Structures are given as C-alpha cells and as structure tokens.
C-alpha cells in the first residue's frame, strides 16, 4: 500500500461505432500509448463507448412518444421522444417532477433519465445503458486478460447525480474481476473497537477516481487504475444496487 495508486488515462481511443470489437479498440489504444496492463490493474471504461459498440443507440426520429411523455415534456420544455425512451428503459418512476425524471432502470440503478443520454453521440441520437453491464465488463476483462496475460478487473462506469449533493460522480454500473463492495463487517478499527456495519463501495470509488483523468469533454473514455487493494470476485458477493425492500427513498 505504501506505493499508492496510479490513475492513467487511456488516450487515443477512436470514435466507437456499433459492431466494433471494443476489447480490440482498447487493447490498441493501451498499446499505442506505450502502456501495458499489470496484474490487478482495474480498467475503467466509460459506459458511452460500451453502449456505442453494443449498438445501444436510438434515433429520436424513430420514437413515438406516449401521451404521458408528451404532456410532461411539454410542461418542462423537454424533448418528448427522449422522455419516452427514458420511460421505456425503466421499471419504476422514482420522481417525475420539476422537470427532473429519476427512474429505476431494468438493472436496478436509480438515476436521471434511466441513463439515456445525448452527449457524445451524433445529433438526433441517444444512447441507452448496456443491457448487461456486468456481462460487458466480463467480456472486456477476458479479452484483456488474454492479451496481457494478467488477471484484471474491469468496471463500466457512468456519471450519476445524488439526491442531496450537487454535481455528478462517476459510479460503477458493471463490474467484473473484483468484489464491488468491500466488507469490513466484523473487522476491527485501528483502535481495536469493532466496526460492525461498514461496507465500502470500492468499485464506485475506483470509478470516481478514474473520472478525474477521463473528464466529461476530453475524449478519454477509459483509464487504468493501478494499485487498488481489491478483494476477489466471490460467488455470494454484495452488490452495489440496494434491494428495494431496504430503500427508504422510493
């Protein structure tokens, strides 16, 4: 732990198109930047390029907004087609007021517009979250582990808002190769007293750290986080999404 952690931007990733083999794109950018991957590196990949490679794009001209979407969009000056796409990507409306649409996605993420987004995609197109972000992370991990002959973790990240704090932070929406939550329950603090309830969302913290080199407008859609002391992926591990029955803010 004394050597600390390095966060290295993966530069030179070209524009990603539907059907691209994203693992190959990433390998070529990493090698092209003169870098390699070390054992236990975490590669953080922005959701946007995963969604593009997987063809998770919708042309707004193909969308027929429902009456609900039209009325709400009109009241708050939104694009009704975008509202329709967001609602159709959701399984529950958490808040729909004052022009803010907080939705629970089919994966269980609670976020604005179900992660549907028009930044960094072509005009008239929106991107959806990957269908199975853990699976996307797994696919990339296997390809990169093979290429670099090391064991890795991969995180697919997106930027989410928070109810009581301003600004977005990058969080992990897909994880492979590491336990997303570190479980300190039952371990002792450094005074010897028991830490009975603490779990840390390590994958979210790694995603946030990677965002510091990725930025929102810099065209750096991936970063290598080196030196994180993460736990192995387990078969019965804690998840980052909170089960609805424990949610006090539905």
Interactions with a copy of itself, residue window 112-141 (CB under 8 A): 118-123
Give min distance, CB of 168 to a copy of itself, in A.
5
Instruction: List Cα–Cα distances, 204 to 73, 119, 160, 181, 213, in angstroms.
Output: 32, 22, 11, 9, 15
Interface with a copy of itself in residues 79-98 (CB under 8 A) = 95, 97-98
Contacting residue, 67, 166, 235, 236, with a copy of itself by CB under 8 A: 166
C-beta separation of 5 from 209 below 8 A: yes
Neighbours of 77 (CB within 10 A): 7
- Nearer to a copy of itself by C-beta: 71 or 239? 239
Residue of 62, 188, 232, 234 that binds a copy of itself (CB under 8 A): 188
**Best CA proximity match to 140, nearest among 206, 53, 64, 76:** 53
Say if CB 77 and CB 99 are below 8 A apart.
yes
Q: How far is the CB of 113 from a copy of itself (least distance, A)?
A: 11
For a copy of itself, the closer of residues 150 and 169 by Cβ is 169
Cβ-based nearer residue to a copy of itself, 68 or 120: 120
> CB of 185: closest distance to a copy of itself in angstroms?
11
Q: How far is CA 72 from CA 40, 49, 95, 97, 127, in A?
A: 47, 30, 12, 9, 21
């Amino acid at each position: 732990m004394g050597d600390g952690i390095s966060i290295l931007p993966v530069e030179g990733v070209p524009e990603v198109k539907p059907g691209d083999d994203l693992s190959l794109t990433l390998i070529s950018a990493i090698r092209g930047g003169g870098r390699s991957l070390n054992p236990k590196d975490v590669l953080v990949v922005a959701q946007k390029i995963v969604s593009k490679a997987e063809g998770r794009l919708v042309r707004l001209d193909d969308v027929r907004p429902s009456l609900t979407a039209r009325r709400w969009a009109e009241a708050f000056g939104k694009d009704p087609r975008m509202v329709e796409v967001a609602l159709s990507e959701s399984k529950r409306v958490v808040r729909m007021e004052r022009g803010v649409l907080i939705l629970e996605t089919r994966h269980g993420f609670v976020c604005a517009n179900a992660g549907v987004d028009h930044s960094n995609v072509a005009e008239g197109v929106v991107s959806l979250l990957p269908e199975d972000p853990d699976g996307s992370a797994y696919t990339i991990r296997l390809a990169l582990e093979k290429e670099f002959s090391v064991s890795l973790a991969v995180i697919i990240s997106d930027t989410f808002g928070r109810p009581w704090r301003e600004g977005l932070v990058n969080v992990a929406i897909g994880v492979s190769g590491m336990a997303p939550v570190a479980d300190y329950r039952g371990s002792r603090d450094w005074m010897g007293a028991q830490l009975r309830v603490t779990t840390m969302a390590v994958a979210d913290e790694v995603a946030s750290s990677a965002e510091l080199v990725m930025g929102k407008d810099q065209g750096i859609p991936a970063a290598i986080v080196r030196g994180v002391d993460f736990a192995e992926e387990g078969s019965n591990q804690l998840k980052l999404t909170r089960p609805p029955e424990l949610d006090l803010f539905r």
